[in-house]
Chain A
Amino acid sequence: MCHSGRAFVRRESRNHPVIPLPEGHTMMDTGDTPAEDLHEDTPTPSRWETVQPWLTLACRVGLAAVLILAAVTKYPPAMSVQAVEAYDLFPADIARLIGYTLPLFELALALLLLAGLATRYVGAASALLMLVFIAGIVSAMARGLNIDCGCFGGGGQVAPEDTRYGLDIARDIAFMAMGAFIALWPRSPFALDRVLGVFR
Chain B
Amino acid sequence: MTHDQTQKREESMGSEARRRSRERLRQQREKDQRAAARKRGLTVALIAVGVVALVVGVGYVILNLDSSGADYDGGLAPQTLQADGSVVMAEPGAQAPVVEVYADYQCPACRQFELLNGDLLQEKAALGEAIVQFRPVSIFARQPEPISGNSLRAGAAARAAADHGVFVQYNDLLFENQPTEGSEGFTPQQLKELFAETDAPEGAAAGFDERVDAEAETVDRFTGEFLPALTADAVEEFGQDEVAAMPLTDLLDWGADNGHDPSFLEGTYTGETIEATGNAYTRYSGENAFRATPSVYINGELLDNTTTMTVRGLRGAIDDAAPGEVETEPLTDGGGTD
Contact = CB atoms under 8 A, between A and B. Distances in A.
Do A and B share a complex? yes
Nearest to A200: B37
Given A100-B63, A108-B55, A109-B52, A82 B44 contact: no
A9 to B, nearest CB: 10
Contact of B109 (A10, A79, A105, A198): A79
B40 A197 contact: yes
Which among A104, A145, A147 has the highest number of chain B CB atoms within 10 Å?
A: A104
Interface string A70-103: 0000011111011001101000000000001100
Contact of A13 (B41, B66, B140): B41
A105 B59 CA distance: 9
Contacts of B60: 100-101, 104
B309 A198 contact: no
Contact of A77 (B47, B63, B107, B111): B63
B305 A76 contact: yes
Contacts of B66: 76
Contacts of B55: 104-105, 107-108, 111
A157 B44 contact: no
Contacts of B40: 196-198
Contacts of A197: 37, 40
Contacts of A134: none
A157 B147 contact: yes
Interface string B113-134: 1011000000000000000000
Please report whether the interface of chain B is mostly helix, strand, loop or mixed according to DSSP: helix
Interface in B59-88: 59-60, 63-64, 66
A190 to B, nearest CB: 16
B210 to A, nearest CB: 31
Given A118-B45, A198-B44, A156 B52 contact: no
Contacts of B143: 157, 159
A71 B101 CA distance: 28
A32 to B, nearest CB: 27
B28 interface: no
Contact of B56 (A105, A112, A122, A157): A105
B229 interface: no
B112 A78 contact: yes
B48 A81 contact: no
B144 interface: yes
Interface residues of B, number: 39
Given A13-B41, A101-B60, A157 B182 contact: yes
B59 A121 contact: no
A195 to B, nearest CB: 10
A85 B175 CA distance: 14
B64 A160 contact: no
B141 to A, nearest CB: 13
A166 to B, nearest CB: 20
Contacts of A10: 45, 49
A108 B108 contact: no
B52 A105 contact: yes
A146 interface: yes
The 3 closest A-B pairs by CB, nearest first: A118-B48, A108-B55, A104-B59
Interface of A: 7-8, 10, 13, 75-79, 81-82, 85-86, 88, 100-101, 104-105, 107-109, 111-112, 117-118, 121-122, 144-147, 156-157, 159-160, 193, 196-198
Interface of B: 37, 40-41, 43-45, 47-49, 51-52, 54-56, 59-60, 63-64, 66, 107-109, 111-113, 115-116, 140, 143-144, 147, 180-182, 305-306, 309-310, 313
28 contacts: A7-B52, A76-B313, A78-B109, A78-B113, A78-B115, A86-B108, A100-B60, A101-B59, A104-B55, A104-B60, A105-B56, A108-B51, A108-B52, A108-B55, A108-B56, A112-B48, A112-B51, A112-B52, A117-B44, A118-B45, A118-B48, A121-B45, A157-B108, A157-B147, A196-B43, A197-B37, A197-B40, A198-B44
